Amino acid sequence: MRRERVSDDIYVFTSDLYAQVTASAVVTREGIVVIDTLPFSNETQEMIDYLNALGQGPIRYLVNTHWHGDHTNGNYLFDPSIELVCHKKCQEALLQHGREALEEAKEASPLLEEAELRVPDVVFEEGEMVLHIGNKSIELALMPGHTLDSTVAYVREDKVMLAADTVMPVPYFVWGDRHKFLESLKALEQYQMESIVQGHGEVLLRGEIPSAIQSSIKYLNFIEKKVMEVVEKGQSPSALDRLTIDKCGKSRIPLNGLVQDLHRANLLSLYEELSAKAN
* Angle between the N-to-C axes of helices 258-278 and 209-232, in degrees from 0 to 180, rounded to the nearest 10: 40
Render pLDDT for 186-225 as a digit per residue (tens, 0 to 9). Answer: 999 999 999 999 999 999 999 999 999 999 999 999 999 9
Give strand ranges (E) for the chain. 2-7, 10-14, 22-28, 31-35, 59-63, 83-87, 122-124, 128-133, 136-142, 151-155, 160-164, 195-198, 204-205
Backbone angles phi, psi at 155, to 5 degrees: -90, 105
Q: Tell me what pLDDT residue 149 has.
A: 98
| CB-CB contact of 56 with 32 (8 Å) | yes
- All residue ranges of the chain with pLDDT < 70 are none
Q: In whole angstroms, what is the distance from residue 157 CA to residue 141 CA?
A: 16
Q: Which amino acid is at 186?
A: K
Q: In whole angstroms, what is the distance from residue 65 CA to residue 138 CA?
A: 13
Q: In whole angstroms, what is the distance from residue 268 CA to residue 178 CA?
A: 13
Closest CA to 180 of 227, 207, 147: 147
Q: Tell me what pLDDT residue 73 has.
A: 98
Q: Tell me what pLDDT residue 250 has.
A: 98
Closest CA to 26 of 209, 197, 205: 197
Closest CA to 71 of 106, 38, 99: 38
Q: How does strand 136-142 pair with strand 128-133?
A: antiparallel
Q: Tell me what pLDDT residue 49 has.
A: 98
Task: List the Cα angle 255/258/263 in 5-degree steps.
Answer: 120
Q: Tell me what pLDDT residue 278 has.
A: 80
| CB-CB contact of 210 with 177 (8 Å) | no
Q: Is 29 exposed, middle or buried (0-12, 13-18, 19+ CB in 10 A)?
A: exposed
Q: Tell me what pLDDT residue 197 has.
A: 98
Closest CA to 64 of 29, 21, 107: 21
Q: Tell me what pLDDT residue 277 has.
A: 87
Q: Tell me what pLDDT residue 126 has.
A: 85
Strand-pair partners of 226: none
| CB-CB contact of 240 with 148 (8 Å) | no
Render pLDDT for 227-245 as a digit per residue (tens, 0 to 9). Answer: 999 999 999 999 999 999 9
Q: Tell me what pLDDT residue 279 has.
A: 75
Q: How does strand 83-87 pair with strand 122-124?
A: parallel
Q: Tell me what pLDDT residue 86 has.
A: 98
